[in-house]
Structure 1
Amino acid sequence: MAAFVAFVSTIMGFAVARPSLEYFDNPFAVENESKEVRSAAIKRLLEVFGMEDPPLPRGHKQPPQYMLDLYNTVADVDGVTKDPYLLEGNTVRSFFDKLHSEQVEFLFNLSTVARSEKVLTAELHLFKLRPQASSHFNRYHFCQVSVYQVLDTTKRNMTQGKKLLSSRLIPVHSTGWEVFTITQAVRSWMTDEGSNLGLMVTVKTLGGNQMDTKVVRFALGRNHHQSKQPMLVLFTDDGRRSASVEHTDLNDSPAPPSLPHLPMPAAARRSARASDYGGEDEGEKTYCQRQPLYVDFEEIGWSGWIVSPRGYNAYHCKGSCPFPLGQNMRPTNHATVQSIINALKLTKGIETPCCVPDKLFSINLLYFDDEENVVLKQYDDMVAGSCGCH
């Protein structure tokens, strides 16, 4: 976390850094050096977020409402995780159908999912439309909807050409989203990409006959609004989840009340950054405490592909840890002993304890990837929840 705070400070500090005497001697060399530092810092920041390059900004579609709702469920307005156990795994992706068939058939491109990711759950989301009036309108109350994995495109209507994944009864006159679990199919596709021949859905009466397509309809192809398009939602774990989160007490996991509930105003962000680089007055000492460190994705140049949050307060720890260490400084026993040794000068070269984060929280990022899929990722140890002398 200390390293993360350091290079974020480097990036955010360009707006307030003061030119040195060397600048006036050779301004071009200093400018090139600043660009190199910024480029290296942003590259390192991308690595923190598990990326080699930032996704290319495009004329984005509206994010699926499901993904927006999921983000708001697991994160506060600043992206800080409400409870690390609310989300299954640490990555959720949404994929739109690539087939755009007028039949109830779908194909999803999963090439952006790394083979190393563990597939936890995969869901097919279909929007059921209102039935159209027909001679069979009031004849049926329920229908049997089944989702199949296509094994052979030439035999999709035969038993050996498809594999049943999920099946259940649905009220004929209902409308809204229906969700089917298709984890088994997605796991096989991740093992063998060439086996991804898509999905097909059948709708039958309780007697096993084909249901009138006017009575039971799902939003398909390009004929319906984007907000109702068929979607695959994939929950995975990429192995980044830290041990500290895995062993956190459930009652201790939510962010403390002291974390902000509104984004920091621009003026306050500039003031916080200026104070970080301006130094302290001579003789003035600040005891170890948490101070603001706002990461503005727009300033970094990432606003074109990040949906939420627009930025977040990472905080950083600053101040002295003088002897004697009070409990308000949240010292470890080791830090207490070190401060005593330093105060008594029992051993040369022993410094006072350092002011560092002693509690860290994760944040959530909702963004578009290169294929314009919407991704929700949870990143551990991104916010200093509190500071102490260690």
Structure 2
Amino acid sequence: MQREILSILGLPHRPRPHIYTKQNAAPMFMLDLYNTISTDIKQPAGFSYYNPIFTTNEPPMVSQQDSRFLNDADMVMSFVNLADLDQELLSSQGNREFRFDLSQIPEGEAVTAAEFRIYKDYVRERYENETIRVSLFQVLQESSHSKKDLFLLDTRMMWVVEEGWLVFDITSTSNHWVVNPGQNVGLQLSLESLDGESVNPRLAGLVGGSAPQDKQPFMVAFFKATEVRLRSVRSAHGHKGRNPNRSKNPKTAQDALKVAEAAAENLSTDQKQGCKKHELYVSFRDLGWQDWIIAPEGYAAYYCQGECAFPLNSYMNATNHAIVQTLVHFINPETVPKPCCAPTQLHGISVLYFDDSSNVILKKYRNMVVRACGCH
């Protein structure tokens, strides 16, 4: 069962993330994205796919632009900073480096947007009235020398007393790294005063290794599938001509009419036996996956079951084809089966989880929840 569900989730194996607590390891941004999806879904009364996770009283980190990115994406990944988290000790250089491993990105996913985010604390001491120039560079080539080959990505002016997340667009850089993984040697953030002097990132309020985990810098990328994988459908062969299971003495129209009348007389007015939706809850916790699936703990999948018997009433949500098939079934039930009770409307869910590298992934999965059933 676990292998089949992992296959549906598009995972080759069960992730084994590093040992981190979920509250600290998952960037708050990803939790806010998950809450945005679960809040935006219009759910019928008494019908819950999954509940939002409210983790903090702080304002949400998701902007309107991020919401637009999310609407166009089918997967979002946040990446753990692999560079030294204590680089603020190297204050003389006035810069800090970051590195992210993009090798875990699934095949067939293209980056539609990517951001680098670093938190800026309020500073009351030194530089409190200053404006600082913040520059983000792509490291083009590693070097043993103090100076590295850098490409400027973005520059902005920052008032030292401001507080909040600084967001840099690194979409083009991320796409370059995906295509050329060997050239992914990280980012560098440099701070300078207006007179050109280097500024210690820690003294300017940019968080480092000693800051709380939910304020650690991270990278986030939005993805869209570039190829569609269709499940193979088995086709029936060798059914040309007369069906070998067909009765040698097919029923006449009069016989079919008698069968239909008898079925109508015996049909219970109680609709409990008719095709309809039934309760089915899939619990990720019961599968033992609570160490890598952050949210939800499970979801209401539902399933369809019930008779598609003559006559197909309106509550059975039958197709025209099912109605015709029912009539033909009465003429020769051994040749044509009754219509099947199956989902007519399906809804997707979103799952927030860790991968093997402790990156946090938010992925949308289509056709996971039954909204309505009918006869087909």
TM-score normalised by L of structure 2:
0.73
**2:139 aligns to what?**
150
Q: Does the 8 Å CA contact 2:69/2:222 hold for their aligned counterparts?
A: no
Q: Number of residues paired by the alignment?
A: 304
- Counterparts in 2 of 1:34-113, with a 5 A limit? 41-56=1-16, 58-61=18-21, 62=24, 63-75=26-38, 78-79=49-50, 86-100=70-84, 101-102=87-88, 103-113=95-105
1:149 partner amino acid? Q
CA contact (8 A) 2:352 2:363 kept: yes
CA distance in structure 1 between the partners assigned to 2:275 and 2:81 by the alignment = 53
* Counterpart selection for 1:197 from 185, 188, 193: 185
**Equivalences for 1:267-278 in 2 at 5 Å?**
none
For 2:14 and 2:165, how far apart are their aligned partners in 1? 32
**Counterpart pick for 1:361 among 325, 330, 347:** 347
SS of the aligned residue for 1:323 comes to: coil
1:331 paired residue number: 318
Distance 2:134 2:186 in 1: 17
Equivalent in the alignment of 1:12: none
Rg larger in structure: 2
Moved more, 201-210 or 327-336: 201-210
> 1:224-266 deviations in whole A, cap 9, x for unaligned?
11111110111112457799xxxxxxxxxxxxxxxxxxxxxxx
**CA shift for structure 1 position 150:** 0.6
Structure 1 residue identity aligned to 2:355 = D
> Structure 1 residue 218 and structure 2 residue 206: aligned?
yes
After superposition, the Cα gap between the structure-2 partners of 1:207 and 1:338, relative to the gap in structure 1 and judged at 3 Å, is farther
The CA distance in 2 between the partners of 1:218 and 1:212, in whole Å, is 9
TM-score, normalization: structure 1? 0.70
| CA shift in 2, pair 1:383/1:241, >3 Å | farther
- 1:172 Cα deviation from its structure 2 partner: 2.7
Secondary structure (helix, strand or coil) at the match of 2:329 reads: helix
Going from structure 1 to structure 2, the CA distance change for 1:347 and 1:226 (only over 3 Å counts) comes to closer
For 1:389, the aligned partner's letter is C
Q: Share of identical aligned residues, percent?
A: 35
Distance (Å, rounded) in 2 between the aligned partners of 1:387 and 1:375: 31
Secondary structure of 1:137's aligned partner:
coil
Gaps of 5+ in 2: 40-47, 53-66, 89-94, 231-269
Is the 8 Å Cα contact of residues 120 and 236 (structure 1) preserved in structure 2?
Answer: yes
Q: Which amino acid aligns with 1:69?
A: D
Q: Distance in 1 between matches of 2:321 and 2:219?
A: 51
Letter aligned with residue 219 of structure 2: L
Matched residue, 1:31: none
Output the CA distance in 2 between the equivalents of 1:48 and 1:326: 34
Q: What SS does the aligned partner of 1:300 have? A: coil
After superposition, give the CA deviation of every residue in 1:281-303 in whole Å (9 maximum; x if it has no partner). Answer: xx996101000111111222222
Task: Determine helix, strand or coil for the equivalent of 1:51.
Answer: coil
Aligned equivalents of 1:334, 1:306: Cα separation in 2: 42
Per-residue Cα deviation, 1:71-110 (whole angstroms, up to 9, x for no partner): 11112674489x9995332111111211123342111122
Contact persistence 1:137–1:215 (CA under 8 A): no
| Residue of structure 1 in register with 2:296 after alignment | 309
The alpha-carbon deviation at position 169 of structure 1 amounts to 3.0
Which amino acid letter does the alignment assign opposite residue 295 of structure 2?
Answer: S
